[in-house]
Amino acid sequence: MAIIYGYPPQSWRTESTFTFRLSPYQTNWIKFAGETRNYGAYSPVNGYSLSSQDEDFISDDCTLWNKSAYADPFAWSYAFSTPYAGQAQVRLFGQAQNPLESASGSITWDMNTQVNTSNLLNITARVNYYHTAYPAHTILIQNFVVYNYTPPSNDPVFIFISLVLQANKVIGSQSFDTQVPCN
């Protein structure tokens, strides 16, 4: 069984997990949006990172913790195929928006992962990718990283260009197969 974890947007808060078995044929897809939290003035209290001191549980006061919500996974989808014996292709694609911000900016992804299991001692994967330049995008197979993209900047201008203007798309195909350790 192969498990493909896709963490498209928002610092691991949004994820989709697709599991498949080629023999007997079986698939399962789970999509999950973790909580997005917004903090206002005076956070972080300790000056460098969020802590329990930042949780005042008073919504909409713009002081310390302000609001929380969950992204809507409605626009996430997948396609699964087995074009050859011992080969599977999993395509995860969609878009997500920060539920606490303007809907004009969105994270988009279209990731196609080809997994070759014809030799169980040498399982390999290769990823074709097309996604926004912000935030990070990662594909794991059986908890092993086969694709990882880290944005070059957290600058507000870069984020605006990437998410609102939808510029700086990251497009490509890995030029090599990644060996996936057997679990």
Q: Determine the pLDDT at residue 152.
A: 92
Helix (H, G, I), strand (E, B) or coil at 74: helix
Q: Determine the pLDDT at residue 142.
A: 80
Q: Determine the pLDDT at residue 183.
A: 64
Q: Which of 88, 74, 139 is nearest to 110 (CA)?
A: 139
130 vs 39, 84, 96, 166, 174, CA distance in Å? 31, 24, 15, 12, 12
Q: Determine the pLDDT at residue 130.
A: 96
**Which portions of the chain are predicted below pLDDT 70?**
1-16, 22-25, 183
Where does residue 7 rank: exposed (0-12), middle (13-18), buried (19+ CB within 10 A)?
buried
Q: Determine the pLDDT at residue 177.
A: 92
Q: Which amino acid is at 75?
A: A
Report the chain's terminal Cα–Cα distance, integer Å.
10
Is there a cis peptide before residue 24, judged by omega within 30 degrees of 0?
yes
